[in-house]
Structure 1
């Protein structure tokens, strides 16, 4: 199975290399990063990394359009059988290889769990398919269809994207692997800005 790793990036110079290095390159059919109008060195770091990582494709927004637009553009450009979204300030834990090894085309979504910076885990289970929309999953690209990240004042755009996916009644596998490090809480993250009513 070909896997496209996707990430929006905005002023991510502090984290972007750690994120890129955490992607297992043996599983990376392509890595698509959308620089969403960064005003720091994010784009320069990406261009330098691209010299040694030919799987990296860089998309550029001349101005900041918001995370949802960057997510949607990454998805639109992806060509792999599956997509794996990783935020630019997060990184994969070594167990992601155990998850990726299970992506065999039998299921629409492969779920894993997240460890937060605060030291506790988000465990994704089957009790509520709409809960915890974030980056818990590897998704069959053909499942996505018209599902989009949205621009809303009341909630981050991944909620509507996740609900649209769940409404398609996808087949799922829960790997129970703790495979993602989530930079949470973080001031001025997408979640934090929505929580404070600033987006």
Structure 2
């Protein structure tokens, strides 16, 4: 299976290399990063990393268009069988290899669990398919169709994207692996800006 790793980035110079290093390159058909108008060294760091990572494709937004636009651009540019979205300030844990090894084309979505930086665990279960949309799934690209990250004041755009996916009644596998480290809470993150009513 060809897996496209997707990441929107905005002023992520502090975290971007850790994120990229955490992607198992043997599973990376392509790594697409949209630099969404960063004003720090994010783009220069990406260009330097690209010299030793042929899978890395950099797309530049000259101005900041917002996370949802960048997510959608990543998805539109992807050509793999599956997509794996990873935020630029987060990183995968070693167990991501155990998840990726299970992506065999049988299921539409492969779920894994997340650990937040304060040690709290996000464990995805089957009790509510709409809960905790988050980036803890690997998604068959052909499933996505018209599902989009939206721009809303009340909630981050991944909620509508996730609900649109769930409305398609996808088949799924729960791997129960703790495979993602979530940099939360973080000041000025997408989630933080929404919680403070600034988005």
TM-score by length of 2: 1.00
State the Cα distance separating 1:118 from its structure 2 match. Answer: 1.1
For residues 155 and 100 of structure 1, what CA distance do their matches in structure 2 show? 30
Q: How many residues get paired? A: 199
Q: Is the counterpart of residue 2 in structure 1 residue 7 in structure 2?
A: no
Counterpart position of 1:53: 53
5+ residue gaps, structure 1, are none
Secondary structure of the corresponding residue to residue 57 of structure 1: strand
C-alpha RMSD of matched pairs (Å): 0.3
Q: Is the counterpart of residue 41 in structure 1 residue 41 in structure 2?
A: yes
TM-score by length of 1: 1.00
State the Cα distance separating 1:81 from its structure 2 match. Answer: 0.1
Alignment map for 1:1-199 (pairs within 5 Å): 1-199=1-199
Describe the superposition over 1:82-130 as per-residue Cα deviations: whole angstroms up to 9, x where unpaired: 0000000000000000000000000000000000011110000101000
For residues 46 and 143 of structure 1, what CA distance do their matches in structure 2 show? 29
5+ residue gaps, structure 2, are none
Describe the superposition over 1:1-32 as per-residue Cα deviations: whole angstroms up to 9, x where unpaired: 00000000000000000000000000000000
For residues 10 and 136 of structure 1, what CA distance do their matches in structure 2 show? 20
For residues 151 and 166 of structure 2, what CA distance do their matches in structure 1 show? 19
For residues 184 and 118 of structure 1, what CA distance do their matches in structure 2 show? 8
Describe the superposition over 1:116-170 as per-residue Cα deviations: whole angstroms up to 9, x where unpaired: 0111100001010000001010000000000000000000000000000000000
